[in-house]
Structure 1
Amino acid sequence: MTSEVAPEPSEEAPREPASRMGATYAIGRGIITPLARVIYRPHIEGKNNVPLSGPVVFASNHLSFIDSIAIPVAAPRPVHFLAKSTYFDGTGLSGWASRTFFTSIGAIPVQRGAGQAALDALDQQRKLLDEGSAVALYPEGTRSTDGRLYKGRTGVAFLALQAGAQVVPVGLIGTDKVMPIGAKRPSLRHRITVRFGEPIDVSHHGPASSGKARRQATDEIMAAIHALSGQELANAYNEVPAHNPIERIKQVLPHERL
Structure 2
Amino acid sequence: MLYWVLKAVLGPILAVLWRPRAEGAHHVPRTGPAIMVGNHLSAFDHFFGALPLPRKITFLAKNEYFTGAGVRGRAQRWFFESVGAVPIDRSGGTASEGALHAGLRALGEGRLLGIYPEGTRSPDGRLYRGKTGVARLVLRSRAPVIPIVTIDVDRIMAARRVVPRLGVRPSVRFGEPMDFSRYYGMEHDPRVLRAVTDEIMDTLRRMSGQEYVDRYAQDVKRELRQRSGGRRARDADRHGCGPGGATS
Q: TM-score scaled to structure 2, two decimals?
A: 0.79
Change (3 A) 1:38 1:105: farther
The structure 2 residue matched to 1:148, chosen from 121, 126, 129, is: 126
Equivalent residue runs for 1:1-258 within 5 Å: 23-90=1-68, 94-95=72-73, 97-207=75-185, 208-240=187-219, 241=222
Unaligned runs of 5+ in 1: 1-22, 244-258
Deviation at 1:94, TM superposition (A): 4.4
2:235 aligns to what?
Answer: none
Instruction: Kindly provide the amino acid, as one letter, of the partner of residue 218 in structure 1.
Output: T
Instruction: Kindly provide the amino acid, as one letter, of the partner of residue 56 in structure 2.
Output: P
Unaligned runs of 5+ in 2: 226-248
How many equivalent residue pairs? 221
CA contact (8 A) 2:138 2:145 kept: yes
Secondary structure, aligned partner of 1:74: coil
1:6 aligns to what?
Answer: none
Change (3 A) 1:199 1:140: same
Deviation at 1:160, TM superposition (A): 1.2
Which whole-Å deviations, capped at 9, do the CAs of 1:163-187 have from their partners, x for residues lacking one? 1111111121111100011112322
Change (3 A) 1:176 1:89: same
Q: When you count helix as a share of all residues, which structure comes out higher?
A: 2
1:254 aligns to what?
Answer: none
CA contact (8 A) 2:59 2:85 kept: yes
Instruction: Kindly provide the amino acid, as one letter, of the partner of residue 197 in structure 1.
Output: G
Identity of aligned residues (%): 41
Deviation at 1:93, TM superposition (A): 5.7
| 126-135 or 197-206, which deviates more | 197-206
Secondary structure, aligned partner of 1:239: helix
1:14 aligns to what?
Answer: none
Change (3 A) 1:117 1:39: farther
CA distance in 2, matches of 1:94, 1:232: 35
| 198-207 or 92-101, which deviates more | 92-101
Which whole-Å deviations, capped at 9, do the CAs of 1:146-172 have from their partners, x for residues lacking one? 222112111111101111111111121
Secondary structure, aligned partner of 2:127: coil
| 142-151 or 172-181, which deviates more | 142-151
Secondary structure, aligned partner of 2:61: strand
Deviation at 1:116, TM superposition (A): 2.3
Change (3 A) 1:112 1:186: farther
Change (3 A) 1:206 1:136: same
| 34-43 or 87-96, which deviates more | 87-96
Change (3 A) 1:191 1:102: farther
Structure number with larger C-alpha Rg: 2
Q: TM-score scaled to structure 1, two decimals?
A: 0.76
Instruction: Kindly provide the amino acid, as one letter, of the partner of residue 165 in structure 2.
Output: S
